[in-house]
Amino acid sequence: MTHHPAPEAPRAQPSALPARLAALAAAALLAACGNLAPVHERPTVTLPALSAAAAEGAASAAANAPAPLPAWQDLVREPRARQVIELALQHNTDLRLALLNVERSRAALRLTDADRWPTVNAAVSAQRAPNSQGVQTNTLQAGLQITAWELDLMGRLANLSTSAQATLMATEAAQRAARLALVTQTLSAWLTLAADGELQALAEQTLRDRQETERLALLRHRVGALADGDLRGVQALTEAARAGVAQARRQRALDEHALHALVGAPVPAALLPAPAIGALAAVDALAPLSPALDSDVLLRRPDVIQAEQTLRAAQADIGAARAAMWPRITLSASAGQVGSQLSQLFEGGHFAWSLASSAAVAIFDHGRNKANVQVSQIARDSAVAQYQKTVQTAFRETADALAGFSSWQTQLDAQRAQLQAEADRHRLSRLKYDAGAISQVDWLDAERSLTSARQAVVQVRLADALNRVALYKALGGDETRTAEAPATAAAQAGMATVAAAGTVDSPTTVAAAPRR
């Protein structure tokens, strides 16, 4: 069979090639011109006025030499608690999932950005077909190909990329929020374990004291110096103390199990607070908080940044959905060696290129594109509502923590004074009871009151410490100062104003100008 050479591919005239390349460059420049996404504006959120207690706490915080919030390593001065938090940061499953979500969002952004650029393939093709005279000819081609590169004239791909970038920033903020929550939850769990350990030690000491009292009461009962009813009262107090010990031990065991689960790995016993009186002294190891309550404190919280970036992604999705309703223009191109024989692919004078374009628009899609726009708009409205809810929650958490900033300390001072008074009363009652000046009922009442006062001091100290941890978390912790990548999003956003955040008479408004 005779092989006939393939006809040479038409070659572009020298004057036509620059013109086509110029048209291609102009089309590429137009690709970034269109954008059908709505202009981003941070939603306005009207907040209630601060309560009197919260306003007092804010004033107290402002009066104590306001300073930036410390890093959590500086906040937690107790070495064992700090090591437990570090273990949690290494082993907690929720934090690991948050980190994986960030990596997935980062990969999704690279994938979306890749769609905005042409894909260049190296290709070799062979074809055998009859020519115009009906003679079978061979056509071999080797070179580079660009297939269906979309010219993003209306910003569809650009908005998809913007949405993916905002989603990445949202997941990074979510990871920072998860880290801050883990630090504060672990610290709170460790402090709770220390407090319940001290309550257990108090219960055990109370049981020992009442067992000694019961032993003396039995001796007095044997010689007829104590009535049966009085002996039964002493024994009842002993059994109540024994029940209290069992309850305290059970509660501490539950606290320990919760801490192990939160950390995600067994916590060495050396890092756990021992059940002893004074175990809650770690509360005093917390660094004092005197935060600078500036006007944009709420907007620096990671969860608020996450909600706003989610809103930006939803707005970009609207632009992509709108652009899908316009014609979609694609380009295809190829360039390389062409010949009828394999040897010609390596010889000069056989170079050829081609350039083709197409435009397509949906004429009938049964309302698919329109429905897609509606879905994206509803998602945007949901993101607005979620942002407003997040800001309102942030305000409530901050106001609650500020309300306890000074009141818990005042209550703790009162509880300590009450404990001192009850201890003096108990000592005097015991002397009077031994001297026969008061009845056993009065002495037992003093015994119960002293036990309750001791427990109350421990509980209020714990509540004060947990409130300080909650205030640290409500103000965003140190994540707003140490995070790198997504923190720039907040800086680029331009922090909005929280008007009248420290007033009691007028409501608070969180608003911002449109972002350009």
Whether residue 31 lies inside any domain: the answer is no
* Structural domains in the chain (count): 1
Whether residue 8 lies inside any domain: the answer is no
What is the average pLDDT score of the chain? 81
Is the pLDDT higher at 15 or at 208? 208
Residue 93 is predicted with a pLDDT of: 92
Phi, psi of 278 (to 5 degrees): 95, 5
- Encoding tokens for residue 121? 């393939």
**Cα–Cα distance between 345 and 136 in angstroms, integer?**
19
Whether residue 34 lies inside any domain: the answer is no
CA-to-CA separations, 86 to 79, 237, 265, in angstroms, rounded: 11, 43, 11
**Cα–Cα distance between 44 and 391 in angstroms, integer?**
10
Say which range, 14-23, 325-334, 398-407, 437-446, has the weakest mean pLDDT.
14-23
Whether residue 126 lies inside any domain: the answer is no
Whether residue 3 lies inside any domain: the answer is no
176, with CB counted inside 10 A (0-12, 13-18, 19+), is buried
Whether residue 351 lies inside any domain: the answer is yes
pLDDT tens digits for range 215-231: 988 988 888 888 888 88
CATH number for the domain harbouring residue 179: 1.20.1600.10
Say which range, 24-33, 371-380, 421-430, 484-493, has the weakest mean pLDDT.
484-493
- Encoding tokens for residue 451? 């036990």
Whether residue 125 lies inside any domain: the answer is no
pLDDT tens digits for range 22-70: 555 555 555 445 688 888 888 888 777 777 677 777 776 666 555 677 8
Domain extent, residue 90, equals 39-117+137-511
Whether residue 9 lies inside any domain: the answer is no
pLDDT tens digits for range 260-293: 999 999 999 999 998 888 777 766 778 877 765 6
* Percentage with pLDDT > 90 across the chain: 40
Task: Classify 263 as helix, strand or coil.
Answer: helix
Residue 102 has pLDDT above 60, yes or no: yes
Residue 364 is predicted with a pLDDT of: 86
